[in-house]
Structure 1
Amino acid sequence: MSILLIEAFYGGSHKQLVDLLQEEIEDCVLFTLPAKKWHWRARTAAVYFMQTVPASADYRILFASSVLNLTEIVALRPDLGKLKKVLYFHENQLIYPVQKCQERDFQYGYNQILSWFMPEHKLAHIKNMPGAKGNGTTCPFMSLPVQEKNNRTVGLTKNSNSDLMLFDYKTQTECCTPLQERLHNPLTTPKELTELTPSKCTSHCQEDQPQSTCNLCRTPGGLECQQKPLHIIWPHRWEHDKDPESFFKILLKMKQMELSFHVSVLGETFTHVPVIFSEAQKALGSSVLHWGYLPSKDEYFQVLCMADVVISTAKHEFFGVAMIEAVYCGCYPLCPKALVYPEIFPAEYLYSTPEQLFKRLRNFCKRPDIVRKHLYKGEMAQFSWAALRGKFRSLLTTEPKEDL
């Protein structure tokens, strides 16, 4: 019980991260709050955990996401202040897109600043650490290498909404087989990753599965079945920062032009769902294959494997785990030429304007074979749990030093 994990918003990628750490690293104890009322979690979680986390002399390291106000919990619980602290940022609240034109509540960004502010003597120590990199600045909470780009601290472990990219599954060669395996199983090799294509992720044609939505079905004899329409997937949270309006505007324009395509709109929903989703579902009609959150990981990954193109229209993204997972399952990515995406995806997968995105999709609708034969030119293995396991284990098992 030497590692104390605290997650004030236990859902989505936040849950994915701490669950994996608890399962993969020994001597972890986890305390959480449900993934509801995010703003209240950010304001009051420290008071809650002050009361619920029992005192223990066995704690050595405190790991938390930045939803928790670290400054407050340390002030309220001096015993926790003595621990080595690892703070993981899923987003930057100072530049998080606002939904309405109104004065921003800076309290949440201020919480983040207070939680990672460090005195000069400690910053000097961090800069001299062997793993520290950057353009003169470093990440004061993680002993992993970091990059500084566009005023965002990007660690090797950052993913969706700065979420951590933790693959806890191994992509199979057929969608009809289970996709999620035990974490200790070896990940697909880098060579296999570069050779991953939709045809490898799709199931054989089955006469008893008339509703199969595979990209390019193949019979056991190797003969190709009739091509299906382009299958577009949008696997993000149904919230304004993912800019669903831009995405659906393009799809509706394609629909009006009578272009042939299918779409799967996945992702988690919360209390307030933008109106555009219900309007778009009705307008897209028969073009919709899947609509809504899929709680089963196996089912979710199967849909990713059956899709051709994965789209991001996000206005705020630290990493984008949903995009990486889709690419891993054989999808062709199209992302904004902004935010974190240029650091992850080669230039050919980036677009600068909605009009460029529309033209790319229009061409793919006319020639879906282009994306189905495409071999992804980026690198995925670096984001796998197999690649990151050792770094996390070292980070969370190293004894704290006096100057920490």
Structure 2
Amino acid sequence: MALVRVVIFLKLFFLLVAEGFLINDESMSYNISLGSNLTTDTNPSWVSPSGLFAFGFYQQDGGFAVGIWLTTKPEITVVWTANRDDPPLSSNSTIELTGDGHLLLFTTYGEQKPITGQSDSESATSASMFDSGNFVLYNHSEVIWQSFHYPCDTILGGQELVVWNQLVSSVSASQYSSSGRFVLKMQGDGNLAAYPQNNYVGTSDSYWTTGTYAGRADSLSLNRNGSLYMMKSGEAQMVLNPSTSSQSRKNETIVFRATLNPDGNFVLYSHRFTNPSGNSTGMMEWEALQDPCKATGICGVNSYCYTTAGKAECRCFPGFLFFNDSRDGNFLGCYRNFADEEACSQRGLQLSYKITPFDNMSVAVFPYR
């Protein structure tokens, strides 16, 4: 009788996957017992039941970082990183859910570092990697820690950004493990607002807000159907993307994520999978900024932002050169390719100055305003 029940369950499970209904299902998880471990070389990850998400080591900057990723192809999409801003890990590093119930990182240099924020008194009896992208530590049936409560630059379907919590962008589209230059903050005044990193004081200094003032919201929620809501006491107050209506088709699974991009734009993406082991199709569903140059401070000192084909492009002022002449480095700003002494040493009545006009330019950022 037990064997018949198991067969029926497996048939139902594969039917749900085939019909495209298994979308961020929090009830399905890969359970990890005490003593389980991962290594960078031989066993790098724990994968969710459908294979859509994985927790473990991913390659970064010639080494490794610890995180959670969506198994998109040809490249993975990292959605969470532990110990962000730490230097890359070397090979032969190990993750272990120890016998006393702590998730620890062991490096090749003998260092031991906690991966989660659990206290010494909170001991796990197991862990789970869910198909929602949530990694959870349990003490028997009690949740003692979960990655959904500590987002980096992304929230997933079924996840919330609660009051006083924030998203911090990554440095670049290829460097997930370092904090970038922008912050999206769920404020105590009921407003969701985006700022340059280390430069936010009040909502008036933000470059994008939801306008939900006077305590009208206490969280941002992304549901599993791809709708972004401003919530108050569990009730929807405003939907940010009313025109989004992506629906899964037969033999297809959709995963949604909302990410504060390295350029400061808050964007909702969908990833369609025909099967977990195959290629996926990603597309942008909604973006906060129609003009990416509206992100304050997107370009560094002595440079300005120019929108071309819907993308932000940084350009140097005349007489200046990029500090780093690469796609990601262009956001670092520009330096002078001349010295003041060159002009001061000139003899004669005419100095070699050239004034270049710029049309349709707005200069409204400290210290220029």
Higher strand proportion (structure 1 or 2)? 2
> What range is the shorter-chain TM-score in?
under 0.3
Larger Cα Rg: Structure 1 or Structure 2? 2
Q: Which has the higher contact order (CA 8 A, sep 6+)?
A: 1
When the two structures are superposed, what TM-score results if normalisation uses the length of structure 2?
A: 0.24
Higher helix proportion (structure 1 or 2)? 1
